[in-house]
Structure 1
Amino acid sequence: MLGGVTRMTISLVVIVFELTGALSHVLPIMICVMTAKWVGDAMGKDGIYSVWIAMRDYPWLPPVDYHDKGETGADLMKPREQLVVIDDEQLTPQDLGNLLKKYTYDGFPVVRQKRLVGFATRDRMEEQLETLSAEGISDTTKKCSFSIRDSLLPQTSRLDFSGCLEEAVLQLRKEVPQELVVNMFQKLNLRRILFTHAGELTGMTTKADVVSLLTCHFPHTAALSQHRPDSGLHRASW
């Protein structure tokens, strides 16, 4: 039974032999283990570990060879209209703080007139807001600027939030094959990919989206998750 559940074969035979020391029973044990594995393969391709991870809804990407059927990145991404973005030099520190309280995402794309500026992380923005609060300027009317170099506001009317942006954010066109998107998440261990066209933000895909794609065949995905998507207890993936 253990062989069928875990898909262990040779290692399981060796373990049983070392525990029992019964050399004469090696062949029967091998037959039982292989039979259990064949029965398990007939009932499903996934072992107990990958099934348990899927049921717990852990953000783990299984090392499987994914091949799309003509789908592109546009079929996997969340379009711009569904994203919560930060308009550069449009929010005051108080507005930004309210945004962070309203949404639990780990970060937000920053745009200026539809053009992508970068991706600002929650932790860095919260740290910057705490610094401003300690300096007693959290209630200022100055605007938060995430791109000082291209700022359109005078220095006296803006606050430098450029340090809140991630140093490197991977950008792709939404027309790329979906297989390429999945492979990049698997091999580069990315958390998100932003899709742009001529510098304008068109959408975003997160690691959670790819995990859902690779585990959608399993009917009991997230059945044992302690943080349901509608519970509001967990921080959103992007």
Structure 2
Amino acid sequence: MEIWQSSRPDFFLFASCEPDTACVTPGTYAIIGAASALGGATRMTVSIVVIMFELTGALTYVLPIMISVLISKWVGDALNARGIYESWIHFKGYPFLDNRDDNSSSVPDVPASQVYSRVEDLVSITATGHSIQTLQDLLHAHAFRGFPVIDNLKDATLLGYISRTELEFALNSALTARKLPPETGAHFALQPLSDPASSLDLRPWMDGTPITLNAKSTLQLAVNLFQKMGLRYVLFTEKGSLKGFLTKKDVWLVLNGAEESIKNEELVGDGRGIYRSQETEQETGLLGAEEDVAEDRREEPG
């Protein structure tokens, strides 16, 4: 443009240019081109304009920057619906559920019970009958990022949910700050006869009101809950009894196809939400029991 203007100063596009004054500044085109490239890659609009204005202070060029960013976004959307960040998340297989996406057509019209991990397959913690040492052994044996807390194994009445981080901190604090021995009893329910000085009450560290759904809820309702509220897990109950557990990773695999993430295993559905490997003949949940899937799903048990 600079060479064009210098060779054809009488052209109508340059009619407003003053003589003996630089009419075309290549740096201006560089700023607008940089904003356009960034907008096309990230699909952001207002943020890009504000960032470019703050970097340069060139309020005069806000309008051309806005026009170039909008055009780059429209061209990018026409080529691919995902920006660079969404594409990278999808490429890496991260369980990202965008609340702007309408996945109603891709969500199977099935009950959530066919997808969530049943209580029999969960690693739950009972309210009583534990010590600091047994809870530490539980943490060492399982790498899940949280555990449902139930009254007992028979009724499985849901009392709450405790994350791995909270449980580890509570146990370490009891051993170091309070100097309690490892065989000290620990409980998640009210124990009127227990001595607070010689026992560990873990109720303050437990989430007593986790997000729950009825066990007969549909998968569509669970997906909407994950998307709108940004949840990482949902517990399913029936009359207060724990029935199942669903994580964001489970939902992501359902929406994107479990076959993309479960490798080296042939799975066949039997119509009950249970899948059996033809190689091992072992019944597992929807996600199977493979190491790579277990690594991804360590944010929650199930």
Offset, 1:202 = 0.3
* Matching of residues 140-219 of structure 1 within 5 Å: 140-142=183-185, 144-148=186-190, 151=191, 154-156=193-195, 158-216=199-257, 219=260
- Distance in 2, matches of 1:165 and 1:202, equals 19
3-state SS of 1:195 partner:
strand
Q: Compute the displacement of 1:188 (Å).
A: 0.7
Separation (CA, whole Å) in 2 of partners of 1:123 and 1:201:
22
Q: Give the superposition deviation at 1:145.
A: 1.3
Identity %: 26
Q: Report the counterpart of residue 130 of structure 1 in structure 2.
A: 172
Task: Name the structure, 1 or 2, with higher relative contact order (CA <8 Å, separation 6+).
Answer: 1
Q: Indicate the larger mover: 67-76 or 46-55.
A: 46-55
- Tell me how far apart the structure 1 counterparts of residues 258 and 134 of structure 2 sit (CA, whole Å): 42
Distance 1:61 1:83 in 2: 24
TM-score by length of 1: 0.71
CA distance in 2, matches of 1:231, 1:65: 26
Deviation at 1:70, TM superposition (A): 2.5
1:198 offset after TM fit, Å? 1.1
- 1:86-105 aligned at under 5 Å gives the runs 86-105=125-144
| Aligned-partner SS, 1:205 | strand
Amino acid paired to 2:94: Y
* RMSD (Å) for aligned C-alpha atoms: 3.8
**Residues in 2 aligned to 1:87 and 1:154: alpha-carbon distance in whole angstroms:** 18
Aligned length: 207
**2:201 counterpart of 1:139:** no
Partner of 1:72 in structure 2? 111
* Cα drift, residue 83 of structure 1: 0.9
Q: Which has the larger radius of gyration?
A: 2
Does 2:295 match 1:237? no
Classify 1:145/1:220 alpha carbon distance in 2 versus 1 (closer, same or farther; 3 Å): closer
Distance in 2, matches of 1:98 and 1:165, equals 19
Deviates more, 1:101-110 or 1:57-66: 57-66
Q: Which amino acid aligns with 1:204?
A: F
Deviations 1:107-128 (A, max 9, x none): 1001112111100111111111
- Aligned counterpart for 2:122 among listed residues 83, 100, 115: 83
Q: Is residue 151 of structure 2 the alignment partner of residue 112 of structure 1?
A: yes
Give the unaligned 5+ runs of structure 2: 1-36, 47-60, 264-289
| 2:194 partner letter | Q
SS in 1 for 2:130: coil
How far apart are residue 230 of structure 1 and its match? 3.0
Q: Deviations over 1:13-69 (max 9, x none)?
A: xxxxx9xx9xxxx9xxx8xx86x976x56xxx6565433212212231133212244
Determine if contact 2:233/2:246 at 8 Å carries over to the other structure. yes
